Structure 1
């Protein structure tokens, strides 16, 4: 039996759980970005064409989209205490299996497994926050663990060249993939310790009432769902573009080796981390000063969309740090945009359907990522230039904001019917 004293005792350790979520997010992004950091080297050693690399990225995006539709319901069935480490084990094994691949088909299979496992991360993390944190702290906890996306993207180009220089590219996949099993040990040890000391492993989940999940087809009836989904479809691919092609852009444009890529790539992701905080704070400041939620969110998103547009100049500049400044500003604006776009879901939908809408939107974002993988590969294969690639990146956010505003001229709370 779970006593009030036990629940209160275990609740004091919720920030350690948040730290584990932050670590999981960081590892998640390191595993997915590793292929982009190693692209110039692997392309040279294994003879990949641009289309080959595009197909490898496409395999990840396809399985990631499939996984997003499946992960939420699977986690609701088995719970996060068991389901989360199963997902981490799956994607970690898939990440390590890249070291065994030699041809394009081997990498495609490894990426498919990676995407399928990684898709469970954000549904699991969001569900864990709901189990551990009261309403007043959930946004803060989510913001903290989500910074792992930037930390992972920042750490990968700094750490991987050192591993490759000492042990080869295969070791990079083994070492980075193996971090997931270290995390699993920490996750399991924490829950065993909490159960032994307090008799419980989650303070809020035992007292929350279960609810039948809303069907996806019912959620698609609402214009707000489509506004969020289109926003993700049009702008998520630009973040994937930076993750998977940025090292190649620097290498191709400025003739840099793997070691030389570390600092410029890291600088872009430092800027992205700052932008995530600034973009989220901007709408909060506007709302506190009297703006409506609708106006506050959309003005902040407009500022971010405008800040992205100069990135189309990146292929034209001759100094790498000028390119870093342009792409860093765009990456910062993307993260600020994303902070507000994700918040639109909780602004428009009741808490009981937020995860379902977020999963649907994430699936649309993954489909957009598949299309950008194919598109970029074709552009580079035909022209060898990133000019049109960055032109697409520069205009996507203004198009997305226009679509959101046309679908939802005024953001209001949606009344979602209970599932039968």
Structure 2
């Protein structure tokens, strides 16, 4: 505690704002998944209709990840983050304007805008973390703000269950709430954020700590976005992000699975989601903390990150059993275990980009990886919607089988592409060890 006081802790105010933004992001993103069984009945959607609405979000997310990541690197974190949250807030509120006569097209259009805006959150947050935390603390810091995804996902069913009736009355109100929250965040961000090296409230000791393992200071010269495309390290990170499809499966299809398999409705979904996402929160924080512990023990960053990812993959394996159990609460706990493992995985995967790439390329790399994850989610939505309409709930068996087994396979491929995780300098050349 005395060391923290001596060093200073302004970086944790910045981290708190990252957590707040990510909570808003996932609250906005999760609302439609919670209300999916109710909206399907109100508007007469098929599984394919619902899948197409989800695909619209992910198409925009994929496009946004490519463009927003590079744009954030170009504009800088402060302006880029405000642009992102402003876009997603406007389109999030526009969901409430959709009318039954054009519900599929209307929701798809609103989701498209939401997806494009929300694509900027993680590139901006990871870039901010790289600016404000040394490598040994980044996975833990990332785990903390990444845990806010679960806070948003937990809040959504409670707010929806409190406001929205089983017949769908008041369904528009949850979509409007995030506008006020986003306005508050922008106000706080404008008052709080500057780069640490020019921030008047950052002590010399804290700045020294933040830059303690950064090596040579980077120039202000911008890197062309295309410069990272030819690097194997970029595609190793992107391959690891294919697992985003699993997380989105839990987020957007979880309530439908529980409704169709165990008759869980909009009024009693809150407790199952609370269990699932509180476990996910714990996984995110512990996963980020664990690799930091390994680094402090003297392990290389490469070994610490990959051993942690291996542990995550093993923890996730039992989720493959979900679709063949008759126990509602066993299914919920196994999904929660899978979500916990995914969030621990995600906290460490995000740090791979800032471990290897210079800070000025981080958002671009995260954007490319997010685009690949979104494309994987698009394919998963298309296949699952088609299978569920044609073969019924047996489609969930294959979904959970893939969700449980893909992490270990992907980790092996990531290791082949990036066996040593050797950092790149500001010109994207390997740094000699």
TM-score bin (small chain): 0.7 to 0.9
Q: Does 1:281 align with 2:289?
A: yes
User: d(CA) in 2 for partners of 1:329 and 1:182?
Assistant: 34
Tell me the equivalent position of 1:29: 26
Aligned to 2:213: none
* Aligned-residue offset at 1:31: 0.6
| Cα pair distance change 1:89/1:276, threshold 3 Å | same
1:219 pairs with 2:216: no
Query: 2:67 aligns to what?
Result: 70
Q: Do the aligned residues in 1 keep the contact of 2:126 with 2:362 (CA within 8 Å)? A: no
Confirm whether residue 404 of structure 1 aligns to residue 406 of structure 2.
no
- Unaligned 5+ segments in structure 1 are 1-10
Which runs of structure 2 are paired with 1:141-220 in the superposition (5 Å)? 141-165=141-165, 168-188=170-190, 190=191, 209-216=219-226, 218-220=227-229
Structure 1 residue aligned with 2:212: none
CA change 1:343–1:42 in 2 (3 A) is same
Contact map agreement 2:147 2:285 (CA 8 A) in 1? no
Report deviation, 1:293: 3.3
After TM superposition, give the deviation of residue 105 of structure 1 in Å: 0.2
Q: How does 1:285-300 map to 2 (within 5 A)?
A: 285-289=293-297, 291-300=299-308
1:315: how far off?
1.6
1:202-230 Cα offsets, whole Å, 9 max, x none, are 998xx9741222433x3233222221111
Q: Could you tell me which of 229, 234, 238 is aligned with 2:238? A: 229
* CA shift in 2, pair 1:12/1:208, >3 Å: farther
Structure 2 residue aligned with 1:6 = none
Residue of structure 1 equivalent to 2:331:
323
Could you say which residue in structure 2 is the equivalent of 1:107?
107
Cα separation, partners in 2 of 1:191 and 1:281, compared to 1, 3 Å: closer
Distance 2:119 2:312 in 1: 26
Q: Are 1:214 and 1:356, in contact at CA under 8 Å, matched by a contact in 2?
A: no
Query: Measured at CA, do residues 19 and 340 of structure 1 come closer, stay the same or move farther in structure 2, by a change above 3 Å?
Result: closer
* CA deviation map 1:181-210 (0-9, x unaligned): 33234434x359x9xxx9979998xx9741
Aligned to 2:263: 255
2:394 matches 1:392: no
Q: Which moved more, 1:336-345 or 1:91-100?
A: 336-345
Q: Distance in 2 between matches of 1:231 and 1:100?
A: 37
Query: Paired residue for 2:356?
Result: 348
Whether the aligned pair in 2 keeps the contact of 1:131 and 1:202 (CA below 8 Å) is no
Tell whether the 8 Å contact from 2:234 to 2:365 is kept in structure 1 after alignment. Answer: yes
The answer for the alignment partner of 2:3 in structure 1 is none
1:286: Cα distance to partner? 3.8
CA drift at 1:245? 0.6
Q: Deviations over 1:264-283 (max 9, x none)?
A: 11110100111112222333
CA contact (8 A) 1:31 1:177 kept: no
Q: CA deviation at 1:411?
A: 3.2
Partner of 2:221, secondary structure, is coil
Alpha-carbon shift at residue 139 of structure 1 (Å): 5.5
> Does the 8 Å contact 1:132/1:202 carry over to 2?
no
Q: Secondary structure at the match of 2:373?
A: helix
Q: Classify 1:219/1:108 alpha carbon distance in 2 versus 1 (closer, same or farther; 3 Å).
A: same
- Mean CA deviation greater in 21-30 or 224-233: 224-233
> In the alignment, which residue of structure 2 is the partner of 1:88?
85
Per the TM alignment, residue 287 of structure 1 is displaced from its structure 2 partner at its CA by 4.2
Partner of 2:15: 18
Matched with 1:376 is 384
2:310 paired with 1:308: no
Q: Structure 1 residue 406: deviation in Å?
A: 2.3
Superposed CA deviations along residues 231-289 of structure 1, whole A, max 9, x for unmatched, are 112x1110011110111111111012111111011110100111112222333344444
Q: Are residues 258 and 354 of structure 1, via their aligned partners in 2, closer, same or farther at CA, if it must alter by over 3 Å?
A: same
**How far did 1:109 drift?**
0.4
TM-score by length of 1: 0.86
CA contact (8 A) 1:349 1:415 kept: yes
- 3-state SS of paired residue (1:375): helix
Deviations 1:14-63 (A, max 9, x none): 54333222111100011111110010000011000111111111111111
Between 83-92 and 134-143, the greater mean CA deviation after superposition: 134-143
- The residue that corresponds to 2:372 in the other structure is 364
Q: CA RMSD in A?
A: 2.9
Could you list the per-position Cα deviations for residues 106-144 of structure 1 after superposition, in whole angstroms to 9, with x for gaps in the alignment?
A: 001000000111112223333444566677766554443
Instruction: Quickly say closer, same or farther: Cα 1:380–1:110, change in 2 above 3 A.
Output: same
Aligned-partner Cα distance in 1 for 2:18–2:297: 33
Identify the residue that residue 98 of structure 1 maps to in structure 2.
95
Q: Structure 2, unaligned stretches of length 5 or more?
A: 1-7, 208-216
